[in-house]
Structure 1
Amino acid sequence: MPELTVVVPTFNEAGNLASVVGEVERALAGVDWEVLFVDDDSPDGTAQQAREMAQVDRRVRCLQRVGRRGLASASIEGMLASSAPYIAVMDGDLQHDPALLKAMLGTLQGGQADIVVGSRHVAGGGVGEFSAQRQGISRLATRLSRAVLKADLTDPMSGFFMLTRAALMDCLRHGVSAIGYKILVDLFASAPRPLRFVELPYTFRQRQAGESKLDSKVVWDYLMLLADKLVGRFVPVRFLAFSAVGGLGVVVHLAVLAVAFKGFGEGFVAAQILATVVAMTFNYVVNNSLTYRDRRLRGWRFVTGWLSFSLACSVGAFANVGIAAYLFDRQTFWVLSALSGVLVGAVWNYAVTSVYTWRQQS
């Protein structure tokens, strides 16, 4: 059994694998270690290259995920696939410096902490060539994390850390969300007791190969993670996102209806049908891109997903009207009747589409 597993989530990182293993080997001389690449079915053949490396080096392993995406969930699956007492997580683009791994391991072995975090913001650390804009975004994200963190971390946005298996299992059994990219925030916010932590400095390096995985949707993922930590125990965060998209869909519906009915003089029924189809399509596309980003449908499955979504929402619309009418006929205040219908329709749409449209792939 290795003493340390270094979990490296990858997507299109084929050009980095050999360098990652080489640097880890130099950094961990005298340590029994392994590198576990967790690949989200990269089209550039990252998983195949990792397997070829594993054929000649038993310290290299590959876990390939098909139909699932996300750095946080990949990190968790990789950590659970390890049998080592100590587990590190680092990016596959070599912006995290593997030279810090041995100091991290020594700190944990000394019993000083449950988790050691590579920090860019303690003395001796640095952000490298971060643009001013990216530094500003990082500072804002750090401030927002204070709403859910149980520790005064200087760099909660760090994706470079090492922890004990006992600490990992404590966090996992108390509601890790596995949403998006910021697994460190997720772990600290899920811990049943404050984690004992040490931050060690490192300087963020330049990417060696590949492209950044960060895009505007990462912001959405991060906000969903914070929302889940704040209210997820009461309301599923996907339902909140689904409902928010539905609210935008109402605006789209009314806008299309107004343009078709008032602007182009179409009959009301025809304009209403057009507005309904456009709003449903809008809701489906946005939910597929954001709410169910980790289960995103592509190709032919995108078309069949739209059909199942539209069918489910059509039934939900009938349920909405039926419940509202039933309550109104029984002298319920019309606003409460309408809201009750909306709630029933929203719950139906969410429940059915989560099972049949964006069902979790096995």
Structure 2
Amino acid sequence: MDTLLVQAAKATPSPEGRSHSGETNPQDAPTLSLVICTLDEHEAIGGVLRELDQHLGGIRHEIIVVDDSADSRTADAVAAYAADHPQVRLVRRYMASGLSSAAIKGWDVATGHILAIMDGDGQHDPALIRSLLEKLAEPDTDLAVASRYLDDARSGLYGLRHRLSRTGTWLTDVTLGVPLADPLSGCFAMTRDWYAHVRRNLSGLGFKILIDVVASGARKPQAAQIPTLLRARTGGESKLDTRVIIDLMALLIEKRTQGRFTAAALMAGMAASSALCLQWLALGVLLKLAAPLWLAMLLSASVGLAGRFGVLLLTTPRSRRPANAHQLLRQWRGFCLHRWSDVPLNAGFAVALCLAHCPWPIAALAGLLLAESRYHLGGLAGVKA
């Protein structure tokens, strides 16, 4: 993944602002570093930056926009605004996705004493940031969150999105016991000390960065909350899709098990389990139809591989999914190129085991495990599934 830090006006801090250890010199650092993660939000980001300029008057701050858009429209809008506002910085990421990893990238290059985040689509009221700073001024407070559901059950969302949000909040509370009314909030601020405390354990998975920040410490943070409702989006579109839901579930399991089951391992296990179930199903049908054993194994292993590709598509962020049949075919060819060894290894080993009187379900499982080992140990993991 190539990362480009684009200097907007005089945005990049001078080397004198950092000590030899890489830390920001306290007297040169701004009070606030606000990260805004964007994905195709060129219509909204200019208005968000203008509102922030009105509400952050008198506060020494920097705004770091981390853009994952495929085109340059959002970056161009930020650069145009930054030309007259040197406190605005732009980080463009290529072939990367996910709000959590983007937020971490922004905080890693930030220089402020307080680190904050909000959306770039206009749903978060910029006036919230000053209120969050006031909460962090209270003694021993590590984290301040703009929480939906703090005063009532409203969120500013409607229909399915509201129900999914409430379900996600309930699951997080049950799984982790996070002491927040809205652990899925995308608008919050924290002290630099708390970020340093959790940084090494952050997974950077998905879009729910607050869960990562709260659940990655050796202790629970001392948190303050302010009530909020989401406003109407002024640009971009909802990022909610199957990948967001899967990422949330994997993140909750990783944090609940304190990293013993990582999100990456869970995703790989889900893909392998899906492939195995489809292979078993196809193999059972083919053997029932009296297909030759070698042919049944080859075809069923191919079905399992196709199922793995389907899981890969479901777990790919929407912005990077193929937009048409040509792109889909090209991605399928690339996937097969990286997983070329799966079918012959899987089917060949399974057939050999069956000839040695091994039950076919166990033989198919062993074949899949061998192919999986060859894929990872052989250095063919260019495309992860």
Q: State TM-score, norm by structure 1.
A: 0.84
Q: Sequence identity of aligned pairs in percent? A: 28
Provide, for residues 104-146 of structure 1, a one-character-per-residue CA deviation record: whole Å limited to 9, x for no partner.
1122234351110001122389422x22433322222112112
Is 1:59 equivalent to 2:84 in the alignment?
no
The Cα RMSD (Å) is 3.4
Correspondences of 1:162-201 after superposition (within 5 Å): 162-173=189-200, 175-201=201-227
Match of 1:114 in 2: 142
Between the aligned partners of 2:313 and 2:272, the Cα distance in structure 1 is 13
Equivalent residues in 2 for 1:109-258 (5 A)? 109-123=137-151, 126-128=154-156, 130-149=157-176, 151-173=178-200, 175-231=201-257, 233-257=259-283
CA spacing shift, 1:182–1:106, aligned 2, 3 Å: same
Aligned length: 350
Code of the residue aligned with 2:165 in structure 1: it is: S
Q: Deviations over 1:204-232 (max 9, x none)?
A: 11111221111232111111111221336
Once the two structures are TM-superposed, the CA of residue 179 in structure 1 deviates from its matched residue by 1.1
Equivalent residues in 2 for 1:1-362, closer than 5 Å: 1-43=29-71, 45-123=73-151, 126-128=154-156, 130-149=157-176, 151-173=178-200, 175-231=201-257, 233-257=259-283, 267-290=292-315, 299=327, 300=330, 302-312=332-342, 314-315=344-345, 345-350=371-376, 355-358=381-384
In structure 2, stretches of 5+ residues that fail to align are 1-28
CA distance in 2, matches of 1:313, 1:80: 43
* Distance apart, 1:236 and its partner CA: 3.4
- Ranges in structure 1 where 5+ consecutive residues have no aligned partner: none
Mean Cα deviation higher: 223-232 or 6-15? 223-232
Q: CA deviation at 1:355?
A: 3.1
Larger helix percent: 1
User: CA shift at 1:269, angstroms?
Assistant: 3.4
* C-alpha displacement of 1:27: 1.0
| Cα separation, 2, equivalents of 1:57 and 1:146 | 40
Between the aligned partners of 2:30 and 2:50, the Cα distance in structure 1 is 17
Cα distance change, pair 98–36 in 1 and its aligned pair in 2 (3 A): same
User: 1:354 and 1:25 mapped to 2: Cα distance?
Assistant: 49
